[in-house]
Chain A
Amino acid sequence: MSRFLLTLVILISFRGSYSAEGKGGMPQLNPESFSSQLFWLLIFFTFLFFIINSIFIPKIKKIRNRRDETIDKLLSESKSINQSMENIIQKINNEMSKEKENSNIQINKAINENKAILDKKISSLDVEYEKKREVVIKDLTISKTKIEKKIPEIVIALSDQIFEKILGEKSKSSLDDFEKFQKDPK
């Protein structure tokens, strides 16, 4: 608003100087130039409109359509690539889980087999151990009886020696005496 007021003031203040020069105010209000301005406006604007309407706007529209089409094409292409990629990933995952299952089965199988072999070996070792144990025990009992049989003889010999040393006379005990002694110690 202040702009217009300022313009108004300026216009009024310069009106005096203009009328002094005999020109009569704003050149915009001088109808002498109207016909020429209207004519050239018509010519130039019509020319501009037709050239823009027939050349430039279709060109801009064409390039934008082409861009949109390309973008759509690339988008759909990338979508399909994405889809196939997802398919591949799915496939890989499927195969992986399959292989995992397979390997689990194999591992379990191997573990079971090993266990069976181990058990077999353990039982065979047990058997062998038992056998060896029996042999050893047998040997031991044989040796024991042998030793047990020898003990009275040794005891008799020793007692005879002790007797000789103490009494100075020879004594000759027999095994029968020992057995007698064993039955009746008195």
Chain B
Amino acid sequence: MASPLSQFEIKTIVPIEVFGYDISFTNSSLAMLATVLLIILFLSIGLKNSSIIPSKSQTLVELSYEFIAGMIGDNIGKEGMKYLSFIFSLFMFILLGNLLGMLPYSFTWTSHIIVTFAISFFIFILVTFIAIFKHGLFKFLGFFAPSGVPKAMLILLVPIEVISYLSRPVSLSVRLFANMMAGHTLLKVIGGFVFVLGANSFIIGGALPVAFLIALTGLEIVIAFLQAYVFAILTCLYINDAIHLH
């Protein structure tokens, strides 16, 4: 039987090499392409004959827009609206990536640490630049020294603050990657149980893990949404921190 981790293997579809770098089109790239196409399809169907009185698909699109706009409004305020496109694309990209991964035989590109880390590192850089451009380098560095704290405590607090700031991209990326990978691995393991137990107990024994598998699949779909939501809302919070240095 295949390993539960074999589902995460990158398989080259079209080998491409530029300047010695391997940029082959792989199953991960295919899943990403499918994600992008699905998002574009979803949005263009919803906005095809957009009218003041929305159709069902337009309502869905507006609902997702409102969801993100509400999230930004709640967490950042009006200043955050210029990041709406970015957070909207980010949320849709991760959500559809997660959900697409739930289809059998598909590939979950969000279960790869390098992808999630790249996204969160980009957010980290973006947030840092926003903070520096908005408040200047000196004020930005003051972010690591909370006001109203005794000077003696700063020796302890500044390193903690710096570490917590630097660990943001790591925690953000690992959260998404680990959740996705754990969920899919678990599904695969339980799926293996179905086969093994069913084979050893004249099929009847497979019923319990199948029920478990169905419940877990539901849970995974919820997690797929939840992780995209968490990713988006943390991005909002980081941007909020950068805009309103506390």
Contact = CB atoms under 8 A, between A and B. Distances in A.
B148 to A, nearest CB: 34
A131 B136 CA distance: 124
B25 interface: yes
B119 A45 contact: yes
Contacts of B28: 33, 36-37, 40
A35 B21 contact: yes
A33 B6 CA distance: 14
Summarize A's interface: helix, strand, loop or mixed.
helix
Interface stretch (A49-57, A95-103, A172-180): A49-57
Given A52-B89, A56-B43, A33 B10 contact: yes
B23 A27 contact: no
Nearest to B114: A34
A4 B156 CA distance: 31
Nearest to A71: B52
B47 interface: yes
Contacts of B67: none
A57 B5 contact: no
Contacts of A129: none
B178 A36 contact: no
Contacts of A10: 4, 185-186, 189
Nearest to B86: A49
A81 interface: no
Chain A: number of interface residues, binned into ranges: 35 or more
Nearest to A29: B113
Contact of B5 (A18, A41, A44, A49): A18
Contacts of A32: 10, 22
Contacts of A47: 36
Contacts of B195: none
Nearest to A30: B10
B29 interface: yes
Contact of A7 (B65, B85, B119, B178): B178
Contacts, number: 145
Contacts of B21: 35, 39
A49 B89 contact: yes
B79 interface: no
Interface stretch (A58-66, A120-128, A135-143): A58-66
Interface in B47-62: 47, 50-52, 54, 58, 61-62
A57 B25 contact: no
A59 B29 contact: no
A35 B89 contact: no
Contacts of B10: 27, 30, 32-33, 36-37
A9 to B, nearest CB: 10
A158 interface: no
B26 interface: yes
A48 interface: yes
Nearest to B64: A60
Interface string B2-26: 0111101110100010000111111
Given A49-B86, A52-B85, A33 B52 contact: no
Interface string B54-87: 1000100110010000000000000000001110
Nearest to A8: B182
Contacts of A17: 3
B8 A48 contact: no
Contacts of A57: 65, 84-85, 88
A66 B5 contact: no
Ranked 4 nearest A-B pairs via Cβ: A53-B85, A40-B29, A33-B10, A7-B182
Interface of A: 3-4, 6-7, 10-11, 14, 17-18, 25-30, 32-42, 44-45, 47-49, 51-53, 56-57, 59-60, 63-64, 66-67, 70
